[in-house]
Amino acid sequence: MAFIEKMGDTLFNMGKDVSQKAKDMSGIAKLKLNIRAKEDFVKAQYMEIGKAYYERHRGEETPEQERFDLIDEALEAIEEMEMQILELKGARKCPGCGAETSDTAEYCSVCGTKLSVVVEEEPEEEKDAAIEFEFEPTDAKEDEEKIGD
Ligand SMILES: [Zn+2]
């Protein structure tokens, strides 16, 4: 019977090891999560410092000039794309408060700023211009032929 008792002991100890290991693993996982959270926090602080540095030294000569230029370029590209989105949506930004307003609105619905009316080219003028251009090539052709002789 000593053998069976020993077997039982071993099984008991193995079970204990498994549960201990599970506890260790969940402890490690928790610690890793906490580490990641702290790393994210530090990263966010770094970012704030970097942003403050950029804003304070923008336009100055700095040892990080290349990075400054890259940020400037990226910010310009973002602004351009945001303008494109507004254009596609038939909207624009209020110069007073920056709110998005309709292309056809006379006043900003948020702050009441009077919005400049978009001046569209008159179609009649375009027609006249087109007719004028039609005559021009004919004259030019005649001149060319004369020059050729
Ligand atoms: Zn406004």
Structural domain includes residue 94:
no
Structural domain includes residue 135:
no
Cα of 101 vs centre of ligand 1, distance in Å, is 8
Q: What SS3 class is residue 77?
A: helix
**pLDDT tens digits along 80-93:** 999 999 999 999 88
Structural domain includes residue 110:
no
Q: Is 90 left (phi over 0), alpha (psi -120 to 50) or beta?
A: left
Structural domain includes residue 134:
no
The enclosing H or E element of 131 equals helix 123-148
Structural domain includes residue 100:
no
Which segments in the chain show pLDDT lower than 70? Answer: 1-5, 7-14, 117-149
Domain around 38: 1-57
**pLDDT tens digits along 51-89:** 999 999 998 988 999 999 999 999 999 999 999 999 999
d(CA 10, CA 95): 79
Structural domain includes residue 118:
no
Spatial CA neighbour of 104 closest among 123, 119, 84, 125: 119
Structural domain includes residue 138:
no
Cα of 120 vs centre of ligand 1, distance in Å, is 23
Cα of 99 vs centre of ligand 1, distance in Å, is 5
